[in-house]
């Protein structure tokens, strides 16, 4: 796998020659801006060259190169897997195509098959999801990764609360399926409402850190929370400690 550069990717694909977008009458200004950004994004071009389904794959590549999360033989869960970029990276790293590991992707949207990935149109919040997942993995997961983001409303405070809530649900799911020592990686937006989630993760994991990969656009408020060293599922004694006195 080509290693991500330390810079913004300016040397990739002749970025100095910027592609101009002809303004279409039926296209909105925001659509033209998005298209222009896509055409001039070095990670988009690189994803096409290297066969990844989305530029988001390089976010996971960068995070993994720094923290060495994905290893051959691991069992990995990819929440919100569509269109499949993160699942592709995970499958390559854990060598699931060679039968050394396992990657299971879940999403409410269907995706085209990916070598080495078991995919299901499945709501991870469904009651049967954890048991079903472990049956597919052949045991508990070594890592739960999530690049999920709900549909945005354009109202930043509302969108922020939505993705934090989604992160809390994903963290709770991870607590049900992870093996002791496992890790959880999840996308968030920068803001002041992440306290409860971070508190939850610090309770259940040894180390919690925030990560902003260079493949994440500079003008984006997204960041990732990485929790490593899962302490294990909380038993009845821990639940009793949390109960009101």
pLDDT digits (tens, 9 = 90+) for 192-230: 667 788 899 999 999 999 999 988 877 777 889 999 999
In the set 187, 202, 212, 245, the catalytic residue is: 187
Q: Cite the DSSP H helix spans in 7-153.
A: 29-39, 42-50, 57-67, 85-94, 129-137
One CATH from 3.40.50.150, 1.10.760.10, 3.10.20.30, 3.30.200.20 for 54-240: 3.40.50.150
Residue in the block written with tokens 């995070």: 63
User: Would you place residue 40 in the very low, low, confident or very high pLDDT band (cuts 50, 70, 90)?
Assistant: low
84 close to 115: Cβ distance less than 8 angstroms: no
Distance, CA of 148 to CA of 78 (rounded, Å): 9
Beta bridge partners of 18: none
What is the residue-averaged pLDDT of the chain?
Answer: 81
Q: Is 86 annotated as a binding residue?
A: yes
Does 71 qualify as catalytic in the annotation?
no
pLDDT digits (tens, 9 = 90+) for 158-185: 777 788 889 999 999 999 999 999 999 9
| Residue ranges of domains in the chain | 9-40, 54-240
Q: Is 147 annotated as a binding residue?
A: yes
pLDDT digits (tens, 9 = 90+) for 123-163: 999 999 999 999 999 999 999 999 987 666 677 777 777 88
């Amino acid at each position: 796998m080509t290693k991500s550069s330390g810079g913004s990717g300016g040397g990739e694909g002749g970025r100095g020659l910027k592609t101009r977008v002809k303004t279409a009458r039926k296209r909105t200004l925001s659509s033209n801006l998005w298209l222009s950004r896509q055409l001039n994004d070095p990670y988009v071009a690189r994803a096409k060259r290297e066969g990844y389904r989305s530029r988001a794959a390089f976010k996971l590549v960068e995070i993994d190169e720094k923290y060495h999360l994905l290893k051959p033989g691991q069992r990995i869960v990819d929440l919100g897997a569509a269109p499949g970029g993160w699942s592709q990276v995970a499958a390559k790293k854990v060598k699931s195509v060679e039968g050394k590991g396992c990657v299971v992707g879940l999403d409410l949207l269907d995706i085209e098959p990916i070598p080495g990935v078991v995919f299901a149109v499945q709501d991870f919040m469904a009651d049967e999801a954890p048991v079903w997942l472990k049956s597919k993995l052949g045991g508990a997961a070594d890592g739960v990764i999530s690049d999920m983001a709900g549909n945005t409303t354009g109202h930043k405070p509302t969108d922020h609360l939505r993705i934090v809530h989604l992160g809390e649900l994903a963290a709770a799911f991870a607590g049900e399926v992870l093996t002791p020592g496992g890790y959880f990686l999840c996308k968030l937006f920068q803001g002041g409402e992440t306290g409860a989630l971070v508190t939850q993760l610090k309770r259940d994991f040894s180390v919690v850190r925030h990560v902003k990969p260079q493949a994440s656009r500079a003008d984006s408020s997204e960041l990732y929370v990485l929790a490593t060293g899962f302490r294990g599922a909380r038993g009845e004694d821990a639940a009793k400690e949390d109960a009101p006195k």
